[in-house]
A and B are shown apart, each in its own frame.
Chain A
Amino acid sequence: MTMTKRFFLGLAAGTALATLPMTAFAQDWQPTRPVDFTIMAGAGGGADQIARFVQSVVEANNLTNRPLVPTNRGGGSGAEALLHMNGARDPDHTLMVTLNSFYTTPIRQEGLGIDIETFTPITMMGVDPFVLWVHKDSGITDFEGYLAKVREMNGEYVMGGTGAGQEDSIVIAYMSGVYDLDIKYIPYDGGGAVAKDLAGQQIMATVNNPAEAKGFYEAGDFVPLLAFSDERMEAYPDVPTMKEMGHDFSYYNQRAIVGAPGMSDEAAAYYREVFGKVYDGEEWQSYLVSESLSPLPMDEAETRAYWATQVANHRKLLAEIEG
């Protein structure tokens, strides 16, 4: 893993040098006022926790000469944050912490007029996998048992999630599609609320990020059945993946930092260095492990290509759900 990371970092530095002869001067650019650090979600969720963690690492290590000012702009499933970024008056001092509504919201609400390809890639901090959870009292211990139960309940099997078009609903919709499941889906306004109602058995199963379910898993209340990651997760070595079930599907929540459209190359280079340091730091590396995030370092060009595939994938997935 370290090899890959070094390789990518080297690659990033290499491309930066090749494409930007001004890099030497770029180091001279520094923020001249506090930096707007917009969070694409409400207080307390996964994206918020990550943003505040990153901010405190920057603060503790004195990585910027001006403070990052985190502001939650989670309204409209991230539409508020996207509009704020799009109309940023000072793009050089405007950053955002994303999740996947970065892709889905502009697709679902075309009226917003957001084109994420105009945004400036800064740093990909990692991707957050999804796992299928049930309560231990359900007696279900594996995915086959889950499938049998859902079929037996005949449309009365209740799952909770964060709402139509949100990350978990995409996963659930895919799963229901390939296994022909009839699930009653109850939307909540955050992953935490979903996990709580699984713990209280108000609902029967969820698709949550590991960080949201971790406390209950460690207490033995939650049982993970299936991971939607590319490979088996280190934290849950006995849990099979959707790919092992023979379906080529994986789904992650993107945890990235992006700049406003129109950010200057100098400013972007500065922030890439700052958040690159955060990424390499011990604090973030141990956060990746403890919260079961997967590292996915990439440079600017790779990020842009990744965005393009993600947008295309989401367009297809959303069309399948809503079509």
Chain B
Amino acid sequence: MEVLSFLTSGVLTALEPINLGLILIGVTIGLFIGAMPGLGSVNGVAILLPITFLVPPASAIIFLAAIYYGAMYGGAISSVALGIPGASTAVATTFDGRPLALQGRASLALVTAALASFVGGTVATVFFTLFAPLLATVALNFGPPEIFALMLLAFATFVGLGGDDIPKTVFSICFGLVLATVGFDTISGEPRLVLFDIQGFIRGIGFIVLAIGVYGIGEMLWTIEQTRGEITTTNPKMTAKGLASDAKEAVQRGWKGTWIGSILGFFVGVLPAAGATPGSLMSYGVAKMLSKTPEEYGRGSPDGVAAPEAANNSASTGSMLPMLTLGIPGSPTTAILLGGMVMWGLTPGPRLFIDESEFVWSLIGSFYISNFAAVLINLAFIPLFVWMLRMPFTILAPLIFVLSIVGGFAASRSMHDLWLIVIFGLGAFFLRKFDYPLAPAVLAIVLGPIAEPTLRQSLLLSSGDPSIFFTRPIAGPITVIAIILILLPAIKMLRGKRRVAAD
């Protein structure tokens, strides 16, 4: 098999001392950058890009890809340990990772995240190895109507995410959608909802700003109010034996989420414009929908940690595919990698696999090695991260506050964003008190900026005829499934009422 011989030589290149060294350094840097709230793989890759001029292109991209991978693993750490998403890709990990930590099971959550990330990354790499050129063609068939249908599906899976109170979930989604429309509108070329004429709103409201506000500040206030400071987050004593039993439990209780995340994450990642954040959120929604015990989600389900973590690693590998084969970045981080490739004198695009096959295959080979390195390094650091949780909450709470502020500022270097974080934090605290689910709002601000333009592009294409979502061969079935999923809770509700009436 031709693929196998290419792959073997690729893996051997990745194992050369310089490349192996870069993988280990890159994964470790990525792990810590990912673990810092606010900073994600984008920042890590952008900061270290110029350094890569010192090594050959293949080594350079291996290094940057290793950072990307490491950051995907690292994002889970602060999501679990602090309750603040370490990176936008790890938001869904807080939904169940944080409750697990509060139950004293932080190590289980972290081990689950590490193992799920490993499986996700590896499954995606295998797909990548076998089907790269074919999948690139599939990605091209996704025009605006198909992408909108997919976003509709993502929202549909989330209607059930907020628990049983569907009106409150819908309110939360709408609130997020409104926030997503603030700022410059691509279609009309005009600014929208520049609130109070504050110029900071021209840029729009960043997703990470909302996420840090809601989870960093809002969640912390809520915890303080609930416990009046008498919280014992966890009593973690890490032993090798404990780690092994956690690993066993992670496999038993998280395998289903892992598979869903690995496969779904990859396909969402492959589509240009989507990337790892929507991939992980969608996987969480789908895993919950397919679960036999959906009520466990949001209260500390290992599946709920595994699905988004498997998905974000899988999607980050997937998003390399359109970048390499089409020259189209599938995520902000791959956009910077793309810039790097141009600097090194490579032209990403359909001919890259033919003209630069050695480069491509050493990168693919490095995916396998990076995954091994990342899971081992991550597992080795878990005791350190769990140890952080032994700090009394009176110390941890101010620390989370400081990290939220620093992380929020680091992402955009703007005071405007800091004020927004504080306002969102306070708002989230009160919404939480009134039992409004906030995850759907976070989802909406991620998917809104993808869903809205694709909806309008589609309707421009069809001159305003909505049948375009039903008549195209790929968009049609997706739209129909999404609509059924949206209607399902309503049907259930009606049935429930009828039963009550019958009684």
Tell me the A residues contacting B by CB distance below 8 Å. 42-45, 48-49, 52-53, 55-56, 59-60, 70-71, 73, 75-77, 79-80, 83, 108-109, 112, 158, 162-166, 184-189, 192-193, 195-197, 199-202, 211, 214-216, 218-219, 221, 286, 290-291
Residues of B within 8 Å of A214, CB to CB, are 327, 347, 349
Q: Do residues A108 and B189 form an inter-chain contact, with CB atoms below 8 A?
A: yes
A44 touching B339 in the complex, CB below 8 Å, given contacts A75-B203, A186-B460, A215-B351: yes
Q: Do residues A189 and B186 form an inter-chain contact, with CB atoms below 8 A?
A: yes
What is the CA–CA distance of A44 and B139 in the complex, to the nearest angstrom? 19
A44 touching B345 in the complex, CB below 8 Å, given contacts A60-B50, A186-B457, A219-B350: no
**Total residues of chain B contacting the partner, CB 8 A:** 54
Residues of A within 8 Å of B187, CB to CB, are 163-164, 187
Partner of B342, one of A53, A79, A108, A197: A53
What is the CA–CA distance of A200 and B139 in the complex, to the nearest angstrom? 8
A48 touching B461 in the complex, CB below 8 Å, given contacts A75-B203, A193-B273: no
What is the CA–CA distance of A310 and B336 in the complex, to the nearest angstrom? 30
Shortest CB distance B287–A (Å)? 29
Q: Is B191 an interface residue (CB 8 A)?
A: yes
A70 touching B46 in the complex, CB below 8 Å, given contacts A186-B460, A187-B457: yes
Q: Do residues A79 and B191 form an inter-chain contact, with CB atoms below 8 A?
A: yes
What is the CA–CA distance of A48 and B166 in the complex, to the nearest angstrom? 42
User: In the complex, given contacts A75-B202, A109-B191, A202-B461, what are 18 additional A-B residue pairs having Cβ atoms less than 8 angstroms apart?
Assistant: A43-B42, A43-B339, A44-B335, A44-B336, A48-B335, A52-B50, A53-B342, A56-B343, A71-B413, A108-B189, A163-B189, A188-B457, A192-B329, A193-B328, A195-B327, A197-B143, A215-B350, A290-B345
Q: Do residues B189 and A164 form an inter-chain contact, with CB atoms below 8 A?
A: yes
Inter-chain residue pair count (beta carbon < 8 A) = 152
Q: Do residues A196 and B189 form an inter-chain contact, with CB atoms below 8 A?
A: no
What is the CA–CA distance of A218 and B356 in the complex, to the nearest angstrom? 14
Shortest CB distance B346–A (Å)? 10
Q: Is B144 an interface residue (CB 8 A)?
A: yes
Tell me the B residues contacting A by CB distance below 8 Å. 42, 46, 49-51, 53-54, 139-144, 183-184, 186-191, 199, 202-204, 272-273, 322, 326-329, 332, 334-336, 338-340, 342-343, 345, 347-352, 413, 453, 457, 460-461, 463
* A to B CB contacts below 8 Å, 15 in the list: A43-B336, A45-B335, A48-B335, A48-B336, A53-B343, A55-B50, A56-B50, A60-B50, A60-B53, A184-B460, A192-B335, A195-B328, A196-B272, A200-B141, A286-B345
Q: Do residues A215 and B336 form an inter-chain contact, with CB atoms below 8 A?
A: no
Residues of A within 8 Å of B326, CB to CB, are 196, 199, 215
What is the CA–CA distance of A290 and B352 in the complex, to the nearest angstrom? 16
Residues of B within 8 Å of A60, CB to CB, are 50, 53-54
Q: Do residues B272 and A193 form an inter-chain contact, with CB atoms below 8 A?
A: yes
Q: Do residues B184 and A75 form an inter-chain contact, with CB atoms below 8 A?
A: yes
Residues of B within 8 Å of A59, CB to CB, are 50-51, 53
A80 touching B202 in the complex, CB below 8 Å, given contacts A163-B189, A186-B461, A192-B329: yes
Q: Do residues A43 and B332 form an inter-chain contact, with CB atoms below 8 A?
A: yes
Shortest CB distance A189–B (Å)? 5
Residues of B within 8 Å of A211, CB to CB, are 342
Shortest CB distance A51–B (Å)? 9
A199 touching B184 in the complex, CB below 8 Å, given contacts A59-B53, A79-B202, A184-B461: no
Residues of A within 8 Å of B46, CB to CB, are 43, 52, 70
Q: Do residues A291 and B199 form an inter-chain contact, with CB atoms below 8 A?
A: no
Q: Do residues B327 and A52 form an inter-chain contact, with CB atoms below 8 A?
A: no
What is the CA–CA distance of A108 and B188 in the complex, to the nearest angstrom? 12
Q: Do residues A79 and B460 form an inter-chain contact, with CB atoms below 8 A?
A: no
Shortest CB distance A155–B (Å)? 9
What is the CA–CA distance of A10 and B413 in the complex, to the nearest angstrom? 39
Shortest CB distance B334–A (Å)? 8
Residues of A within 8 Å of B342, CB to CB, are 49, 53, 211, 291
Identify the closest chain B residue to A112 (Cβ): B199
Residues of B within 8 Å of A44, CB to CB, are 329, 332, 334-336, 338-339
Residues of B within 8 Å of A219, CB to CB, are 349-351
Q: Do residues B199 and A192 form an inter-chain contact, with CB atoms below 8 A?
A: no
Identify the closest chain A residue to B191 (Cβ): A76
Residues of B within 8 Å of A291, CB to CB, are 342
Residues of A within 8 Å of B188, CB to CB, are 163-164
Partner of A218, one of B328, B343, B351: B351
A56 touching B336 in the complex, CB below 8 Å, given contacts A189-B453, A214-B349: no
Q: Do residues B189 and A187 form an inter-chain contact, with CB atoms below 8 A?
A: yes
What is the CA–CA distance of A166 and B188 in the complex, to the nearest angstrom? 11
Residues of A within 8 Å of B351, CB to CB, are 215, 218-219
What is the CA–CA distance of A112 and B198 in the complex, to the nearest angstrom? 11
Shortest CB distance A38–B (Å)? 10
Shortest CB distance A98–B (Å)? 17
